[in-house]
């Protein structure tokens, strides 16, 4: 299940006891039960839906419990272009999510504005909220989103703080 | 040239005949664009003409498809044609009865951006005129609720005007989240 044991079972207990650290166990639980908050505003959201549906099946990685309430989720997937009118909404939803929380910026528009270099579009959501993993593509394939979720899982397993927490301590 | 290439004389569209008979003084220009009659009319009579096109039993342009505007400030040829009116408010109409379309254009000068609202003729003009106000700053007189519809309420300027910079005036980088209506 991806849990790295720090200690092996001693010979006299015949492998029935393992030793580990609280952090590792907690992170192991977090990483295998990410609850995404979908923030789908454009065509990337269609790919996100495909990722969640049976063909690509994100539930294989423990992330199928899509929460439409930010208060019950710990992974924000920003998929689509964010206009200047939508940015306060996104910021508020990010603020409402309980810590620890991770953010995936999915696709060219969310990451850098994409082809929409205009007055109304945010040129990258990372100007306003901390982003952990960026996905290139217009739109990215579902495999790319799965890869991003796995990267978030790796980050959690490694014990690294989410980007948002780093920002607070900077 | 063979006879096949000779263009057959088209009968004059009914709308032009009727407008020339009843509102000749309001007509500034008439044109045809891909089968659609295009008439340009004076602003003072624009409401009367649109009302006429809607209520006349023979024309019956009962469906207002779209209201929008064009900023001709960088189109010298267009500007010269209509006394250097910067904006052209455009109404797209459709007649279910005649199964035909018509386009009514109204030149609007920059120093007088008022134009009568047609919300009393078509309820659907409400949001269309709000969008035109939002994007071009055309002031529709008599509109029941003329506010921005697409841009944020505290947005300054009218972004589809040609003098508005494409990449904006820094509003996409500058954010005060406390001030925003969150």
The pLDDT tens digits of the residues spanning B140-149 come to 999 999 999 9
Residue of B nearest to A82 (CA): B172
Asked if the ipTM is above 0.85, the reply is: no
Domains along the sequence of chain B with CATH: 10-141 (3.30.460.80)
Confidence of residue A16 (pLDDT cuts 50, 70, 90): low
Query: Pick from A43, A37, A46: which is nearest to A115 by CA?
Result: A43
pLDDT of residue B1: 47
Residue of B nearest to A122 (CA): B172
pLDDT of residue A17: 67
Strand order, beta sheet including B36-41: B27-33, B36-41, B100-108, B87-95, B63-71
Using the predicted structure, report yes or no on whether residue A107 has a pLDDT greater than 60: yes
Q: How far is CA B124 from the centre of its chain?
A: 14
* CA distances in angstroms from A154 to A129, A149, A159, A167, listed in the order given: 21, 9, 9, 20
- Residue of B155, B173, B180 lying closest to A88 (CB–CB): B180
pLDDT of residue A5: 52
A33 or A10: whose pLDDT is higher?
A: A33
Q: To probe the interface with A, which of B172, B176, B180, B182 has the most A CB atoms within 10 Å?
A: B172
Residue of B nearest to A83 (CA): B172
Asked if B181 is an interface residue toward chain A (Cβ–Cβ < 8 A), one would say: yes
Cα–Cα distance for residue pair B82/B66, rounded to 1 Å: 22
Using the predicted structure, report yes or no on whether residue B181 has a pLDDT greater than 70: no
Cα–Cα distance for residue pair B118/A17, rounded to 1 Å: 80
- Residue of A92, A120, A122 lying closest to B182 (CB–CB): A92
Q: What is the largest CA-CA distance in chain A?
A: 70
Using the predicted structure, report yes or no on whether residue B178 has a pLDDT greater than 80: no
pLDDT of residue B3: 54
Residue of A nearest to B176 (CA): A88
Cα–Cα distance for residue pair A161/A140, rounded to 1 Å: 26
Q: What is the largest CA-CA distance in chain B?
A: 75
The pLDDT tens digits of the residues spanning B54-112 come to 998 888 999 999 999 999 988 888 888 888 889 999 999 999 998 999 999 999 998 98
Cα–Cα distance for residue pair B36/B165, rounded to 1 Å: 33
- Residue of B171, B181, B182 lying closest to A84 (CB–CB): B171
Confidence of residue A14 (pLDDT cuts 50, 70, 90): low
Domains along the sequence of chain A with CATH: 35-169 (3.40.50.12280)
Q: Which two tokens stand for residue B130?
A: 């709000």
Q: Which of residues 46-65 of A touch B (CB under 8 A)?
A: none
Do residues A39 and A106 lie in contact, with contact meaning Cβ atoms separated by under 8 Å? no
């Amino acid at each position: 299940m991806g849990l790295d044991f720090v200690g092996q079972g001693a010979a006299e207990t015949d492998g029935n006891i393992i030793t580990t650290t609280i952090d590792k166990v907690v992170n192991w639980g977090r990483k295998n039960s990410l609850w995404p908050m979908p923030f789908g505003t454009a065509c990337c959201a269609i790919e996100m839906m495909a990722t969640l549906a049976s063909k690509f099946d994100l539930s294989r990685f423990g992330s199928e419990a899509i929460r439409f309430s930010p208060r019950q989720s710990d992974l924000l997937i920003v998929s689509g272009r964010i206009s200047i009118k939508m940015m306060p909404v996104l910021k508020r939803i990010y603020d409402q999510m309980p810590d620890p929380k991770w953010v995936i910026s999915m696709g060219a528009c969310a990451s850098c504005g994409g082809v929409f270099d205009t007055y109304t579009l945010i040129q990258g959501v990372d100007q306003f909220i901390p982003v952990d993993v960026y996905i290139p593509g217009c739109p990215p394939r579902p495999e790319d989103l799965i890869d991003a979720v796995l990267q978030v899982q790796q980050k959690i397993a490694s014990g690294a703080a989410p980007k948002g927490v780093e920002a607070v301590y900077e | 040239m063979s006879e096949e290439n000779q263009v057959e004389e088209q009968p004059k569209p009914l709308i032009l005949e009727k407008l020339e008979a009843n509102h000749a003084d309001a007509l500034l220009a008439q044109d045809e664009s891909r089968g659609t009659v295009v008439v340009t009319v004076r602003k003072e009579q624009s409401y009367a003409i649109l009302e006429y096109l809607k209520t006349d039993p023979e024309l019956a342009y009962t469906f207002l498809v779209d209201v929008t505007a064009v900023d001709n400030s960088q189109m010298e040829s267009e500007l010269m044609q209509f006394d250097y009116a910067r904006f052209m408010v455009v109404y797209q109409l459709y007649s279910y009865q005649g199964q035909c379309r018509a386009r009514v254009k109204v030149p609007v000068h920059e120093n007088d951006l008022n134009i009568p609202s047609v919300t009393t003729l078509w309820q659907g003009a409400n949001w269309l005129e709000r969008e035109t106000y939002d994007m071009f700053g055309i002031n529709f007189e008599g509109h029941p609720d003329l506010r921005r519809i697409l841009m944020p309420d505290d947005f300054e300027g009218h972004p589809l005007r040609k003098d508005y910079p494409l990449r904006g005036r820094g509003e996409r980088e500058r954010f005060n989240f406390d001030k925003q209506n969150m």
